[in-house]
Structure 1
Amino acid sequence: MDLGLGGKVAAITGASVGIGLGVAEAFAREGAHVVMAARGRDRLEAEASRIAKEFGVRAVAVACDVATVEGADALVAQVKKEFGGADILINNAGTGSNETIMEAPDEKWQAYWELHVMAAVRLARGFVPMMKARGGGAILHNASICAVQPLWYEPIYNVTKAALLMFSKNLANEVIKDNIRVNTVNPGLILTPDWVKTAKQLTAESGGDYQAYLQSVADEHAPIKRFGTVEELANFFVFLCSDRASYSVGSTYHVDGGMLRTV
């Protein structure tokens, strides 16, 4: 299926590893140019160079922290400088948490609010005018199944991802008049390097069978009985940002192998 993304410009945050990197590769595979943002410069630049060579597109690395005003502004400025604007924005930067509500300090709540919510707000203010000038575009937020089905050990993550969901819906209603479509994806269990790292740490003192641990997590949470791959999720992202999904506006899609327990 031709998704019609050749020559488009897609900006992806958190793009140096895991889901963000997989999404950048998926867009490049479709012939889209990519602007990849992340904090770690060395790894980001290496991956951008590899993608450019492998797929024959332009891949621009922007080392910045989008959880800050300065970082979000830097990404917007670089997109303008390199391409004059962008057609697609993937708000992917984020990370899990581990705390209790009674013990977590205000500073931790604020840090996650800046990363999961305010980064999306600030980037919307920067990217929407560029997309409007290009005749439209697509914005996709990577939230989490935890936004609607919380895990007990990460209340801050649950709350801020739920807020991102509501922001996405409001933004969708506001900018569809400019032919800009906004949607959200709630992934379930996706096999990222972070999951593998955690599994290895948790099994280090009990024989190191991290794969068995991961399988036990999948057996407990996902009716499909396995983790999803980054590529499976990235393919869905790319489709939602293409004209093939032109009637998808303000929606939330669960890519979770059946993990969500409600209808």
Structure 2
Amino acid sequence: MDLGLKDKVAAITGGSIGIGLGVAEAFAREGAHLLLAARQGERLAAEAGRIAETYGVTAVPVPCDVATVEGAQELIGAARDNFGGADILVNNAGTGSNETIMEAPDEKWQAYWELHVMAAVRLARGFVPMMKERGGGAILHNASICAVQPLWYEPIYNVTKAALLMFSKNLANEVIKDNIRVNTVNPGLILTPDWVNTAKKLTANSGGDWQGYLQSVADEFAPIKRFGTVEELANFFVFLCSERASYSVGATYYVDGGMLKTV
């Protein structure tokens, strides 16, 4: 299926590792050019160079922290300076948390609010005008199943991802008149490097069977009985940002192996 993404420009936050990097490669396979944002400049530059060489596209690394006003402006400026704008924005940057509501300080709540919500708000204000100039575009937010089915140990993550979900819906209603489609994906268990590292740490003193630990998590939470791969999720992201999904507006999609318990 031709997704119509050849020579489109996609900006992806959190693009140096995990889901963001997988999404970048999926776009590159379709012939799209890339703006990759992440804080780790050296790793980001290496991955951008590898993708450009592998797929024959332009991949511009933008080392920045999109959780800050300055970082968001750097990515917006890089889009305009390198490509005259962008057609697609994937707000992927984010991370899990671990705390209790009673003990977490204001500073931690604020940091996650800036990363999961305000980064998306600021980037929308910068990218939407550029997309309008190009005749339209697509914005996709990577939220989480935890936005609607929270895990007990990360209330800040749950709350800020839920807020991102509501922001996405409001933005979708506001910009569809400009031919800009906004949607959200709520992934479930996706096998990222973070999950592998966590499993290795948790099993280090009990035999080191990190694969067995991950399988036990999948057995408990996912009816499909396995983690999803980054590539499986990335393929869905790319489809939603393509012209083949042109009637998808303001929706939330679950890529979770059946983990969601409600209808």
Structure 2-normalised TM-score? 1.00
Q: Which whole-Å CA distance do the structure 2 matches of 1:212 and 1:10 have between them?
A: 37
Matched ranges for 1:131-170 at <5 A: 131-170=131-170
Residue 78 of structure 2 corresponds to: 78
**Structure 1: gaps spanning 5 or more residues:** none
Give the 3-state SS of the residue equivalent to 1:234 in structure 2. Answer: helix
Residue 10 of structure 1 corresponds to: 10
1:64 shift after superposition: 0.1
Tell me the number of residue pairs that the alignment of Structure 1 and Structure 2 aligns: 263
1:42 correspondence with 2:39: no
1:155-197: per-residue Cα shift (whole Å, max 9, x none)?
A: 0000000000000000000000000000000000000000000
Residue 112 of structure 2 corresponds to: 112
Residue 243 of structure 2 corresponds to: 243
Q: Partner letter of residue 64 of structure 2?
A: C
Q: Partner letter of residue 210 of structure 1?
A: W
Residue 55 of structure 2 corresponds to: 55
Q: Which whole-Å CA distance do the structure 2 matches of 1:233 and 1:262 have between them?
A: 21
1:73-99: per-residue Cα shift (whole Å, max 9, x none)?
A: 000001100000000000000000000
Q: Which whole-Å CA distance do the structure 1 matches of 2:47 and 2:74 have between them?
A: 19
Give the 3-state SS of the residue equivalent to 2:117 in structure 1. Answer: helix
Give the 3-state SS of the residue equivalent to 2:138 in structure 1. Answer: strand
1:55 shift after superposition: 0.2
Would you identify which runs of 4 or more consecutive aligned residues in structure 1 move more than 4 Å? none
Give the 3-state SS of the residue equivalent to 1:116 in structure 2. Answer: helix
Residue 29 of structure 2 corresponds to: 29
Residue 130 of structure 1 corresponds to: 130
Give the 3-state SS of the residue equivalent to 2:258 in structure 1. Answer: coil
Residue 259 of structure 1 corresponds to: 259
Give the 3-state SS of the residue equivalent to 2:60 in structure 1. Answer: strand
1:108-135: per-residue Cα shift (whole Å, max 9, x none)?
A: 0000000000000000000000000000
Q: Partner letter of residue 227 of structure 1?
A: F
Q: Partner letter of residue 64 of structure 1?
A: C
1:20 correspondence with 2:14: no
Q: Partner letter of residue 5 of structure 1?
A: L
Structure 1-normalised TM-score? 1.00
Q: Which whole-Å CA distance do the structure 2 matches of 1:233 and 1:138 have between them?
A: 17
Q: Which whole-Å CA distance do the structure 1 matches of 2:51 and 2:34 have between them?
A: 9
**Structure 2: gaps spanning 5 or more residues:** none
Q: Partner letter of residue 123 of structure 2?
A: L
Q: Partner letter of residue 28 of structure 2?
A: A
